[in-house]
Amino acid sequence: MKELEPALWHVQESGEVLAYLEVNAEQGLDNDEIASRRAAYGANVFTPPRRETALMRFLLQFHQPLIYILLASGLVSLVLGEYTDSAVIFAVVLLNGLVGYFQEAGALRALEALKKSLSTQATVLRAGQKHNLLMEELVLGDIVFLQSGDKVPADLRLFSQKELQVNESSLTGESLPVSKDIASLAPDTVLADRRNMVYASTYITRGQGAGIVVSVGDKTEIGNISRLIRDVPNLSTPLGKKMDAFGNKLLYVILAMALATFLFGWFRGQEVAELLMVAVALAVGAIPEGLPAAITTILAVGVYRMARRNAIVRKLPVVETLGSTTVICSDKTGTLTENQMTVHFVYAGFEVFEVSGSGYQPQGEIKSVVRQQIADLAHQPALKQCLLAGLHCNESRVRQKDGQYFVEGDPTEGALLVSAQKAGLSALDLLPRLDTIPFESERQYMATLHRQEEGKTSSI
């Protein structure tokens, strides 16, 4: 068995892909095949970017022109026996380096913890049994089952689906969910139009499906993007460029002044040792040794404030970059939003009601725009039925984690759930569902059939 090129998976029929990868759709892979496939085709993990060692990160804190001058001045003072001056200079340099090093190390630890917390689980068929496994455990040929709210763990070729829709904005930039199919496609079909494929890092917003893993780790489409980003060279920030330019200019000025002072004294016949100490004193006095420490402290405060807003920054100078940004170019507004929707007005029973609150936090109230009174569902049957329709014709769920509310599924359906909760309705008001007509863009509606009581049914 060999891997096909990524551009060919969508061309094959789903049955051909299963046969090519030697997988039974009803049984999945046998347990004894897992290790061999992982060894042959790689694990479902991304290659981490190359990082400096702890020692190198510490030494890079001193890679500044002004620090070079301070170190040279400290060495000259030490050679001349001025131990107190030398100790003070080295202490300032060391303190500045330690502040930058520990701040960067803390940011790295926070990033690692964040990666572990974002690990995705998947429902996988192996040896005829379904298992919930971490995405890192998947191998080429695994059968993965998908449902609304799931994050796709690897690139999959679909062989079964029912009203499956996927949010592929992280890969293609398209904010609207994409409907999927299992039919084979033409070889020249572009990635965004490959309806029989689902890709790692995308989210299932509606329906159910099953697919076979055809690419893992760095060989996935999102892995390719990760590799391209990893290969981008590091660029200096505006603040870094200004500091480098300032340090270089100051370096030349200080060296010129120290040299001129030394030569002037030497021509006057003064002692060389005395002139060296004067030159060192002039250089140390002219260097703003507190400047690197002050900049480091200011940037560290910025990193801390961003961390409180769930934005983790690894290197201190990056904090300044956004503050220097004058133009942000975007192809669509959906790229820069939080992907949250909120119901603000409801029209029911020939009356308009205003819904307060924003986002997915179920805090707010519904009141009549005309009468400016809080809506009472007992006396507003049309409003109640309207909110119940949004509650029943729904495939999404609102969850809370670490004080933040988020939606598993479609953002519009999440907004309908929250609006019902603001009126006091909840999952306890749901009736058992018997059947569903899923939403389709052609129909522009969704319908569900529910059991109301013994012997009777109710449709929404």
Cα separation of 417 and 393, whole Å?
A: 10
Residues 82 and 141: their CA atoms lie apart, in Å, by 71
Q: Is 331 one of the catalytic residues?
A: yes
Helices (H), 287-406: 290-308, 318-323, 381-392
Task: Report how far apart the first and last C-alpha atoms of the chain are (Å, whole number).
Answer: 50
Nearest to 193 by CA among 202, 207, 181: 181
Do 422 and 357 meet the contact criterion of CB atoms below 8 Å apart? yes
CA 380 to chain centre: 43
Q: Residues near 46 by Cβ (< 8 Å), separated by ≥ 6?
A: 217, 218, 223, 226
- H or E element in which residue 103 lies: helix 83-117
The H or E element spanning position 352 is strand 351-355
Q: Are 375 and 423 in contact (CB under 8 A)?
A: yes
Is 399 within 8 Å of 405 (Cβ atoms)? yes
Which residue is catalytic, options 331, 410, 429, 435? 331
Q: Where are the beta strands (DSSP E) in 377-455?
A: 397-401, 404-408, 433-440, 445-453
Residue 84's CB: how many other CB atoms inside 10 A?
A: 8
**What are the angstrom distances between the C-alpha of 373 and each of 365, 367, 370, 380, 420?**
10, 5, 8, 12, 17
What are the φ and ψ backbone dihedral angles of 179, each rounded to 5 degrees? -75, 140
Report CA dihedral (203, 205, 211, 212) to the nearest 10 degrees. 0
Distance of CA 270 to the CA centre of its chain: 65
3-state secondary structure of 347: strand
CB neighbour burial string for 197-207, b if at least 16 within 10 angstroms, e if fewer: bbbbbbbbbbb
DSSP-derived letter for residue 50 is P
Q: What's the farthest any 2 CA atoms get from each other in the chain?
A: 116
What are the CA-CA distances from residue 228 to residues 138, 146, 293, 339 (Å)?
23, 28, 34, 26
Show which residues are catalytic: 331
